[in-house]
Amino acid sequence: MKAPLKFSLLRFLMDRPDPATPEEVFEGLKNLYGRERQFSLPFIEDHLDSLRGVGIIKVVEATEAGEKLILSYQATDYGQSRGRYLPKSIP
């Protein structure tokens, strides 16, 4: 049984030394959630926004690519402390 997607998003960001864009998160979790209907880039972006809204992750970089804003996210200290309740690895 796999963990809920939001848990996997936080674990993915906690395990990375550098920030990740939604596209990198999507690619990193594709093997685990790729066949689920809810697993899409807009859905990942929504989850990242909700985790940011409660202070678990933060935007550390914002760049423009044409007319699109690309955000890079990283776990906050608060998010790291909450992450201790997650499994050590998410398959």
Question: Given this model, what pLDDT does residue 90 score?
Answer: 63
Q: How far apart are CA 22 and CA 80, in angstroms?
A: 19
pLDDT in tens, 28-68: 999 999 888 889 999 999 999 999 999 999 999 999 988 99
Residue ranges and CATH numbers for the domains of the chain are: 5-83 (1.10.10.10)
Q: How many helices (H) and strands (E) does the chain have?
A: 4, 2
Helix, strand or coil, per DSSP, at residue 5: helix
Mean pLDDT taken over the chain: 90
Q: Using CA atoms, how far apart are residues 74 and 17, in angstroms rounded to an integer?
A: 9
Give this prediction's pTM: 0.87
* Band of residue 2 on the pLDDT scale cut at 50, 70, 90: confident
**Judging by DSSP bridges, how do beta strands 68-75 and 57-65 pair with one another?**
antiparallel
